Amino acid sequence: MKEIVILGAGYAGLRAARELRGLPGARITLVNRHAFHYESTELHTVAAGTREPEVISFDIRQSMGPTVEFKQDSVTRIDPEQKKVFLQAGPVPLSYDYLVVALGFESEDFGIDGAREHAMPLVDIDSALAVRQHFEARLAGFKTTRDENDLRLIVCGAGFTSIELLGEFAYRMPSLIELHDLPKDKVQLIALESAPKLLPMFDAHLVDYAVGYLAARGVQIHTSTTIKKVVPGGVMSEDRTFDANTIIWTTGVRGSHVIADSGFVAKRNRVNVEPTLALKDHPEVFFIGDDSAVLDPAGGRPWPTTAQLAIAEATHAAANIKAHIAGKPIADFKFVSKGTVCSLGPSSGIAQLSGRGSMKFEGHGVAFLKKLVENGSLLEEAGFAKMLDNFS
Ligand SMILES: Cc1cc2nc3c(=O)[nH]c(=O)nc-3n(C[C@H](O)[C@H](O)[C@H](O)COP(=O)(O)OP(=O)(O)OC[C@H]3O[C@@H](n4cnc5c(N)ncnc54)[C@H](O)[C@@H]3O)c2cc1C
């Protein structure tokens, strides 16, 4: 019996388990710190309060069925020499013949002073709910405090995640202003970005559309503004301080700390894997999703980490494990991106899809495209009813 252990039940881990379940002569064990899977691509909706956590999550055991042994636990360390995985609660380490590491992303603060202490990350359901509760409490408290910083929210970074988050907040603000009877002209949504231009993965006219859409809803985006320090109630750039009592940190992500704690050679906790997605010295260990750095041969740089890439890598790693067990040759990973969709709240967005040529969309209906592209996984793992929930 071959022991196949999969770490993490995000997009990558769940897809790998789904591809491998029922494999004759193999036992599949899936480890995740929560009993539920959440759609990371929708965390901004929970943070802004446009969706509840239940709508973007589902039970892992139920979706996997009896052919996958599910363990709810936190992975602390991997020992590739001993072929063992150490868990926080499990007293006995797990042994494996094949290992798939898919522990996902963590917030990257680039060592900026005060970022970890005074800004809130957006990395999972708990952190998304913490953002929502914190901001809504500040808004509710304004009638007592009269502190205008309670009405200000700063998003650090204006990359893909930040723009989606701002779009969602821009949509939600009118109802929050009405609910708490707030002075509309004093409410501010601010983004600080060191780069001079936004969203380099999109054509310029789509970027202009997104920026115009957000500006029309009161979002101020400060480009070429490098964050130097975060202090309680403020973010300092080279030449000024931006004040706000809610500060969210979405400047980027890195892979799991378990990678560093296990001594794997990695950059920002992303392991450079072979084209097969396995380690050079340990062909039985695969890194996929946000924990791996896979070279895009055309660009000469690793592919940007996305849910779409994570799912494709998982499918490939599973196929290679099956081939290896069967004594067949394993293959190199090839990725063709379907394109990128960036939502601007629940009812708008921009999209640049690949296919025969490049198709570009903007405005109403694009958010639907995102749901369709991203929730391929939701449909397959959780079933049609859950998919319909997600469209509400
Ligand atoms: C707000 C937001 C919007 C995004 N939008 C898009 C988008 O539109 N399109 C797109 O393609 N990508 C998007 N992304 C990026 C995308 O979410 C990630 O690339 C994707 O989630 C990576 O999948 P993964 O399976 O590698 O990791 P994850 O989804 O992070 O899953 C990792 C899993 O491992 C578990 N885990 C972590 N550590 C441990 C541990 N020590 N022990 C046990 N379990 C552990 C986690 O709880 C989680 O279940 C977005 C990200 C964010 C934050």
Model confidence pLDDT, tens digit, residues 14-66: 999 999 999 999 999 999 999 999 999 999 999 999 999 999 999 999 999 99
The CATH T-level fold of domain 2-107+253-337 is FAD/NAD(P)-binding domain (3.50.50)
- CA-nearest of 377, 33, 375, 383 to 391 is 375
d(C-alpha 145, C-alpha 266), whole Å: 47
What one-letter code names the amino acid at 240? R
Please identify, by atom number, the ligand 1 atom nearest to the C-alpha of residue 34: 47
Q: Is the CB of 71 under 6 A from ligand 1?
A: no
Alpha carbon distance 181, 198 (integer Å): 33
pLDDT score, position 384: 41
Question: Does residue 121 have its Cβ closer than 6 Å to ligand 1?
Answer: no
What residue spans of 262-306 are helical by DSSP H?
none
The answer to whether the CB of 308 is under 6 A from ligand 1 is yes
Catalytic residue among 42, 106, 164, 374: 164
Looking at ligand 1, which residue's alpha carbon is closest to its atom 19? 306
**Catalytic site includes residue 136:** no
d(CA 173, ligand 1 centre) in Å: 26
pLDDT less than 70: residues of the chain: 355-357, 371-392
Phi, psi angle pair for 378, to nearest 5°: -65, -45
Four-residue CA torsion sign, 289, 290, 294, 296: positive
Q: Which two tokens stand for residue 70?
A: 């599910």
| C-beta of 310 in contact with ligand 1 (< 6 A) | yes
C-alpha distance from residue 366 to each of 328, 340, 370 (Å): 42, 11, 6
Q: Which atom of ligand 1 is nearest to the CA of 105?
A: 30
36 close to ligand 1 (CB < 6 Angstrom): no
Residue type, 205: H
The 3-state DSSP class for residue 264 equals coil
Q: Which of 283, 357, 275, 269 is nearest to 316 (CA)?
A: 275
Beta bridge partners of 358: 354
Q: What are the angstrom distances between the C-alpha of 112 and each of 230, 236, 257?
A: 8, 11, 18
Q: Secondary structure of the chain: what % helix, strand, coil (to 5)?
A: 35, 30, 35
Asked whether the domain spanning 115-249 has the same topology as the one spanning 2-107+253-337, the reply is yes
Whether 108 lines ligand 1, by a CB cut-off of 6 Å, is no
How many residues comprise the chain?
A: 392
State the distance from the centre of ligand 1 to the C-alpha of 11, rounded, in angstroms: 7
- Look at residue 378 in the predicted model and tell me its pLDDT: 46
What is the spatial distance between Cα 62 and Cα 133, in angstroms, rounded to a whole number?
Answer: 30
> What pLDDT sits at residue 364?
85
Verify whether ligand 1 is closer than 6 Å to residue 343 (CB atom): no
Given the CA of residue 256, which atom of ligand 1 is nearest to it?
38
pLDDT score of 373: 64
Going by C-alpha positions, the residue among 129, 171, 197, 122 that lies closest to residue 343 is: 171
Cβ of 312 below 6 Å from ligand 1: no
Q: Is the CB of 199 under 6 A from ligand 1?
A: no
At 242, is the secondary structure helix, strand, or coil? strand
Question: What CATH superfamily is the domain 115-249?
Answer: FAD/NAD(P)-binding domain (3.50.50.60)
Q: How confident is the model over 267-293, as pLDDT tens digits? A: 999 999 999 999 999 999 999 999 999
For ligand 1, what atom is nearest to the CA of residue 343? 8
Q: Which of 40, 156, 165, 352 to mutate to test the pocket of ligand 1 (most atoms within 8 A of CB)?
A: 40
Ligand 1 within 6 A of CB of 128 = no
CA angle 148, 153, 154 (to 5 degrees): 125
Q: List all residues 6 or more positions away from 189 whose beta carbon is below 8 Å from its beta carbon.
A: 153, 155, 166, 169, 170, 173, 218, 219, 220
Domain ranges of the chain: 2-107+253-337, 115-249, 338-392
Residue 360 sits at φ, ψ, to 5 deg, of: -120, 135
Reading the block at residue 12, the tokens are 């990558």
Three-state DSSP state, 18: helix
Residue whose C-alpha is closest to residue 99's, from 263, 349, 284, 331: 284
Q: Which atom of ligand 1 is nearest to the CA of 123?
A: 53
pLDDT of residue 390: 45
Ligand 1 centre from 138 Cα, in Å?
28
d(CA 277, CA 309): 12
Distance 329 CA to ligand 1 centre (A): 30
Distance from the CA of 257 to the center of ligand 1, in angstroms?
Answer: 14
How many angstroms separate the alpha carbon of residue 122 from the centre of ligand 1? 11
Residue 367 · residue 390 · CB < 8 Å: no
Kindly state if the Cβ of 163 falls inside 6 Å of ligand 1. Answer: no
The pLDDT score that the predictor gives to residue 356 is 64
DSSP E strands in 111-198: the ranges are: 120-121, 152-156, 188-192
Take atom 14 of ligand 1 and give the residue whose Cα is closest.
41
Query: How remote is the CA of residue 39 from the centroid of ligand 1, in Å?
Result: 7
Phi, psi of 251, rounded to the nearest 5 degrees = -85, -10
pLDDT given at position 353: 85
